Amino acid sequence: MRNKVLTFQSTHHVLKAEKILIEAGFKFDIIPTPKNISSDCGMSIRLDSESSDMSFLSDVLTYNNIIFQIYDYKI
């Protein structure tokens, strides 16, 4: 279950995060940011926090100066 949503400052940063996270081996989707999340931009990354190393994810994005926020994904 992909239960977490990552939001970013801009589309550029979503796509930069996508590139970095693919290189780091993460599995995720790009989705339109859900309406119930206070969005920074129109697209977000959705992934499963159970099977993903969230601490590594945080480190790798921070190391690349990507600002992000994590939300619960609710349908």
Partner 1 sequence: MQVYLDNTATSWPKPNTVVESIADYLKNYGGSPGRSGHAFALKAARIVFETRELLAEFFNADSSDRVIFTSNATNASNIAFKGILKKGDHVITSHMEHNSTIRPLRNLEKEGIIELTIIDCDNNGNIDFDLLKSSFRQNTKLVSTIHGSNIIGITLPIDKIGALCKSKNVLYHVDAAQTAGFLPIDVQKNSIDILTFTGHKKLLGPSGTGGLILRNNVEIDTLIHGGSGSKSESETHPDFYPDKLEAGTPNTVGITGLKAGIEFILKQGQKNIINHSRQITDYFLDSLIDIDEIKIHGPGKEKNILPVISVTSNFFPPDKIASILDKEYGIMTRAGLMCSPLGHKALGTFPQGTLRFSPGFFTSKKDIDYTINSLKQIFKNK
- Measured from the CB atom, the residue of 3 and 67 that comes closer to partner 1 is 67
Q: d(Cα 66, Cα 52) in Å, to the nearest integer?
A: 18
Q: Measured from the CB of residue 68, what is the shortest distance to partner 1 in angstroms?
A: 12
- Measured from the CB atom, the residue of 14 and 57 that comes closer to partner 1 is 14
- Measured from the CB atom, the residue of 39 and 49 that comes closer to partner 1 is 39
Q: Measured from the CB of residue 75, what is the shortest distance to partner 1 in angstroms?
A: 16
Q: d(Cα 11, Cα 41) in Å, to the nearest integer?
A: 6
Question: What is the Cβ-side half-sphere exposure of residue 44, based on CA atoms within 13 angstroms?
Answer: 23
CA nearest neighbour of 67 among 25, 16, 23, 31: 16
CA nearest neighbour of 48 among 26, 24, 17: 26
What is the contact surface with partner 1 in residues (CB under 8 A)? Answer: 9-13, 15-16, 19, 30-33, 38-43, 65, 67
Q: Measured from the CB of residue 46, what is the shortest distance to partner 1 in angstroms?
A: 11
